Amino acid sequence: MSQVLYRSLSGILIKCLFKNRCSCDWIKYLKEYIDSYYFVDNRSSKLVYDFLDKYFPLRRELAEDYVIRQYSDNPEKIFYSAVDLLLYLDQNPDCDYLLYWQNLDDDNDIKQFTLQYTDDGKMIFGVSIYGNELESEKSIEVFNEVRNYLNSPIACITGEEPPPWNSIDFIDFCNERYDPARL
């Protein structure tokens, strides 16, 4: 994109945001996400599907296939459904993996689900909602509901950043992020 066009678009966006008088249709696509992450001490595809059925009954996987090892140029295996992949990951605790689902229910506050299988046999659940204030009422409400559902001892709220790949780093990650329970 040319610098002139970029500056023009940036200027329009800034005027819209700061003057709060935007009639631009495209502004609705520039939403920020608040992410919250939840530690689960063991792997269970049943828990994943129970969670998806509760919070994402209308959902779409955001991948067409799943290669083992993820991001590898020479895959050992290829799965064409999350069901088969999750069964494999349940049985291979040293295999890390990152999956995403989109919520197709526009009325649901939770817009996306991230599932991080750690390299040490654990899981990190992540949910994303629209917003930019980590301490908003909606963010805390969703956080507490999901944390209670998962019975997660370690959890945090952050803004658009992925979780670490193992549980030890995740604990440190959460200790440096917002957790309403620590207040």
Q: What is the pLDDT of residues 124-143, one digit of tens each?
A: 999 999 998 999 999 999 99
Q: Are residues 24 and 51 in the same domain?
A: no
Q: Are residues 13 and 35 in the same domain?
A: no
The arithmetic mean of pLDDT across residues 103-122, rounded, is 95
Q: How many domains does the chain fold into?
A: 2
Domain that holds residue 13: 1-28
The arithmetic mean of pLDDT across residues 35-63, rounded, is 95
Q: Are residues 147 and 76 in the same domain?
A: yes
pTM of the model: 0.81
Q: Are residues 127 and 153 in the same domain?
A: yes
Q: Are residues 98 and 131 in the same domain?
A: yes
Phi/psi at 52 (5° precision): -60, -45
Q: Are residues 35 and 84 in the same domain?
A: yes
Q: Are residues 162 and 96 in the same domain?
A: yes
Q: Are residues 152 and 86 in the same domain?
A: yes
Q: Are residues 88 and 21 in the same domain?
A: no
